[in-house]
Structure 1
Amino acid sequence: MLMLTPTAIEAVRSITSTDGMPQDAGLRIFTADGAETLQLAVAAAPAEQDQVLTAEGSRVFLDQEAAAYLDDKILDTGLDPNGQGTFVVAPQAQENPGD
């Protein structure tokens, strides 16, 4: 399952708690028209088939394709080459069976 870092949780909470947004709003991660590119949007509620993740007051809605792709990933924040805040997807650390 997708994991969120503390900074990602705070970023999602900040984005979805702006004036006029419903209390249950969330960040929706989805694919459009079968594209392989993930897209982000603020949504008032999840779509019917979305997987809903909640963490410390933040909500993330994942469509089926995004949920499958992000199943073993971590959502974090970072800066793009222009210095703008962005979300970053990274692989989860693999546990060593011998540890």
Structure 2
Amino acid sequence: MLTLTSGAVQVIRNVTANPELPPETGIRIESGIDGSDALRLSVASAPEAGDQVVEEEGAKVYLEPAAAQLLDDKTLDAQVDPQGDVAFTIAEGTAT
């Protein structure tokens, strides 16, 4: 199962902390089109049918089935640069 670093948890919680959003709001990751390994990330108000749910310290990630399989043994990290732009990265193995 996908694991989250503390940086990813913090960024996801910040992105989904808007009080106008439903409490189930999280980040959804889905596989790209045409069978490529590219992934698409978006803010989702709830998981879709069949999504794998990863939740850690209030951060929710919804994985579309093909993305869940691709990310099964990976770690999601996130950082915010000085301009406020968020960059998500995926690494091999699990977070320590």
Shared fold (TM-score greater than 0.5)?
yes
TM-score scaled by length of structure 2 = 0.85
Q: Structure 1: 5+ residue runs without aligned partners?
A: 94-99
SS of match in other structure, 1:30:
strand
Is residue 74 from structure 1 mapped to residue 75 from structure 2 by the alignment? yes
Q: Which residue of 2 aligns with 1:28?
A: 28
Larger Rg: 1
Higher relative contact order, chain-length normalized (CA < 8 Å, sep 6+): 2
TM-score scaled by length of structure 1 = 0.82
SS of match in other structure, 1:54:
strand
8 Å Cα contact 2:30-2:41 kept in structure 1: yes
Q: Which residue of 1 aligns with 2:6?
A: 6
The alignment yields a C-alpha RMSD, in angstroms, of 2.0
Q: Structure 2: 5+ residue runs without aligned partners?
A: none
Aligned pair count?
Answer: 92
- Whole-Å Cα distance in 2 between the matches of residues 62 and 55 of structure 1? 14
Runs of 4+ in 1 over 3 A off after TM superposition: 32-35
Deviation by residue 1:28-47 (Cα, 9 ceiling, x = unmatched): 00024444210001000000
Is residue 49 from structure 1 mapped to residue 46 from structure 2 by the alignment? no
User: What amino acid does structure 2 have at the position aligned with 1:92?
Assistant: G
